[in-house]
Amino acid sequence: MNSLIPGPEDLFLFHEGNLFQSYRVLGAHPAVIGGVAGVRFAVWAPHARQVRVVGDFNCWDGSAHPMQKISTWGVWFLFVPAVREGEYYKYEMVTSSGTLLYKADPYAFWSELKPGTASRVVSLEGYPWTDQAWQTQKRTCQAYRSPMNIYEVHLGTWKKNPDGSHRTYRELAEELVAYVKDMGYTHIELLPLAEHPYDRSWGYQATGYYSVTSRFGAPADFMYFVDRCHSAGIGVIMDWVPGHFVKDEHGLRQFDGQPLFEYNDPAKAEKTEWGTLSFDYSKPEVVSFLISNALFWFDRYHIDGLRVDAVASMLFLNFGKPREQWVKNARGGEENLEAIEFIKKLNQTVFRYFPDALMMAEDSTDWPLVTAPVHDGGLGFNYKWNMGWMNDMLKYMELDPYFRHGRHQLLTFSFMYTYAENYVLPLSHDEVVHGKKSLLNKMPGDYWQKFAGLRTLYGYMMGHPGKKLLFMGGEFGQFDEWKDLEDLDWELLGYDSHRGMQRFVRDLNRVYLHEASLWELDHRPEGFSWIDPHDHKQSIVTFMRKSSKPEDQLIIVSNFTPVFHEKYRIGVPAAGDYVELLNSDAGEYGGSGQRNAGMLKAGKRPWHNQPFSLQIKVPPLATVFFKPVNLHRNSTSQK
């Protein structure tokens, strides 16, 4: 924008769907015009007969501040002198039928603390960022060949104050960041932080897409949180919800008295399953709004990635709808053609401006090439949540170990497609709510077996190709499912079993960070090879992870039954010595203490299609990592 008043070029690009920093043009911005300090307001409301600004500064009487329509397609503008930062405001709409509506600003950067619904004036300029070293390091880092272990967090319930109030962004910047660093995670993923009216929507039903929620502080406080994360070497990913929005009267629904951000056709607009409305991706101004919003979080808050929620609901017109409400596209199919084009344009634009961004699709479908570039026919994301792996593994782990031998394919099937996309393996909040039970309580058996089974799962997950994600509380074995109005059950750390689980996850995370074979070739087939996927009778799998250095390998054995095998033979590719690097059955983690002590020497006895083999102990319900040392290179298999 070349002037303080939106110019013709900005307006043209906005109405073409190509104004990718529309938050600089629309909304409320402190400014000085003609030597007078005040705030310039701009809003898109093409169906309104009149728009007025109301707020503290005019006692909520809009007659003093009518806006001027400055574009044929409905952008309104007004400069109001003497308005200061922190003041509340809304837009008073006179609809085509003469009805008065009072709407929060779609481009507001700050919102009134709930239950209030007004917008607040604030400048996002001038924060003294100290993350230059992080930004430089990120430009040289190759995400695909780097560790990525994500701690998923709902800030409202990670830890509350004794009186039940929320920790602030600044308090969390100290306590949460220190905890995540100590636990060995590389990234924090935050459930949506866009302003939302209802706590129990967890942020997934937003009203203020540009307004970081005021529950935990002001915009500068969230900047401080991100800055502290980066200072600690932790990336920040935020859940982002471009698929639908909430129907609250002060929000986007029928913003100027008629459908605007949503589809005009109610059959396409309604998200029946969630009681929300779909964005209309065929409207260029909505495309400008959403793509600008994605860029906004990278630009203004320095976040490192977006996890794009509910992609399946965007790809398909009839997602979650009863059959009698189904509609078809112009070609007779169920795909949402304009949403598909929006997704491609979104990813292309984000990577144009922020080449090192993480764009992660939460997609439950088998849509092909989700993480392929748009120019190669893909949707353009660089990561996709592996929902198939998650569903299969949790289904398998909930089985009584006695019956697991008959469902062995649930363990191994994911390897048939693990390189089809760039995957993140998620054990997310969605799996520990609505009666699904916590991860720990999903495990069958007695108390000991539950903890042992969960440690086994975590170890197997860490060995499986793909980046990792775990929802808060899972790291210490939260026994109850997530209570979305209360904080985590931190008092459980007073018990040995939960403290041992937390210690195991911390040690597992640190092994992951240190061992390049667990992440460097995550998305390339040469980074993985089976040793034995076939021992279904004993529910044991053995496999190898590799890095670009031939000598850098790990052998991983997972036993999914409570049976201890004192002498179990596994094939290995080279002669030499092997050591037990990590054992989830160790006594300090709450296990039975069946360890493989000292150096284990590979014998020249072919096994599992390998030229050498080891005899090991396989503990009950455990995952064990073995690392080769002092390999005899001239005897390494060339297969």
Catalytic residue ranges: 309, 362
DSSP letters of 265-326? SHHHHEETTTTEEEB-TTSHHHHHHHHHHHHHHHHHH---EEEETTHHHHHBTTTT--GGG-
Q: Give the position of tokens 């390897």.
A: 415
The residue type found at 543 is F
How many Cα atoms within 13 Å fall on the side-chain side of residue 392? 15
Query: How many beta carbons lie within 10 A of that of residue 429, not counting itself?
Result: 22
Give the residue from 440, 401, 632 showing the smallest Cα distance to 536: 401
Q: How far is the C-alpha of 589 from the C-alpha of 593, rounded, in Å? A: 9
Could you give the 3-state DSSP secondary structure of residue 152?
Answer: strand
Give the residue from 319, 181, 552, 133 showing the smallest Cα distance to 327: 319
Whether 540 contacts 618, CB under 8 Å: yes
Each residue of 93-125: b (16+ CB within 10 Å) or e? bbbeeeeebebbbbbbbbbbeeeebbbbbbbbe
Q: Give the position of tokens 């701690």.
A: 151
* Residues whose CB falls within 8 Å of the CB of residue 237, separated by 6 or more in sequence, listed in order: 150, 187, 188, 189, 190, 303, 304, 305, 306, 307, 358, 360
Q: How far is the C-alpha of 449 from the C-alpha of 591, rounded, in Å? A: 9
Could you give the 3-state DSSP secondary structure of residue 145?
Answer: helix
Q: How far is the C-alpha of 181 from the C-alpha of 584, rounded, in Å? A: 22
Q: How do beta strands 244-245 and 276-278 pair?
A: antiparallel
Q: How far is the C-alpha of 304 from the C-alpha of 138, rounded, in Å? A: 9
The residue type found at 369 is L
